[in-house]
A and B are shown apart, each in its own frame.
Chain A
Amino acid sequence: DQQVKQNSPSLSVQEGRISILNCDYTNSMFDYFLWYKKYPAEGPTFLISISSIKDKNEDGRFTVFLNKSAKHLSLHIVPSQPGDSAVYFCAAWYSGGGADGLTFGKGTHLIIQP
């Protein structure tokens, strides 16, 4: 059973517009969430995270929103730039576990159109 789901395998957005990537989770024990970005032939890179005690975290063009009641988080990128074209992974973790508690979604391929 997939505990972290990214239902959109791909997303196409025009340059300069907002990109919204979504992630749903099922395990209510998750209390820390991360977004990673991955370019082809490279490893994932940590992008931004949010603790379950918050509902928003912002870092430059990137904002993550958490809706605990809906078990849903989203990553907003504003404005979208060509270099944002990559695969984005959502991950969730519960502090009761160690690194073995880290669960990833299958990723969303974001394509920024010029």
Chain B
Amino acid sequence: DSGVTQTPKHLITATGQRVTLRCSPRSGDLSVYWYQQSLDQGLQFLIQYYNGEERAKGNILERFSAQQFPDLHSELNLSSLELGDSALYFCASSVSGALNEQFFGPGTRLTVL
């Protein structure tokens, strides 16, 4: 158990819908990262927050948004869902933002039908 929790574990929804994925970082970790793992693209960095502020942005679609709240949990919002958004979404956290100190959550599997 990495100490990073993600809810829900599984999510099945329809095209065009909107969903919210939630991540609670390890106690004391200020930085949260979101990743998408799809069958054809592999693991891709989406976005990073540090202490409530956006720190870095990767291959995140405009239909996706995220935020980190004062209690440091983070939410990833996916809207106007398409079939191709079906993937595993991982959250990771770290104390300082160092890449070799990231701890990953178990992921949320999103299926868009």
Contact = CB atoms under 8 A, between A and B. Distances in A.
B56 A99 contact: yes
A99 B33 contact: yes
Q: Is the interface of A mostly helix, strand, loop or mixed?
A: mixed
Interface of A: 32, 34, 41-46, 49, 89, 91, 93, 97-100, 102-107
Contact of A34 (B100, B105, B107): B100
Interface residues of B, number: 24
B48 A99 contact: yes
A41 B58 CA distance: 24
A99 B99 contact: yes
B90 to A, nearest CB: 5
B66 to A, nearest CB: 13
B52 interface: no
Interface of B: 2, 4, 33, 42-45, 48, 55-58, 90, 92, 97, 99-107
Contact of A106 (B42, B57, B92): B42
B90 A44 contact: yes
A49 B56 CA distance: 21
A34 B104 contact: no
B42 A32 contact: no
B97 to A, nearest CB: 7
Nearest to B45: A102
Given A99-B45, A99-B56, 13 more contacts: A43-B4, A43-B90, A43-B105, A44-B90, A44-B104, A46-B101, A89-B42, A99-B33, A99-B97, A100-B57, A102-B45, A104-B42, A104-B44
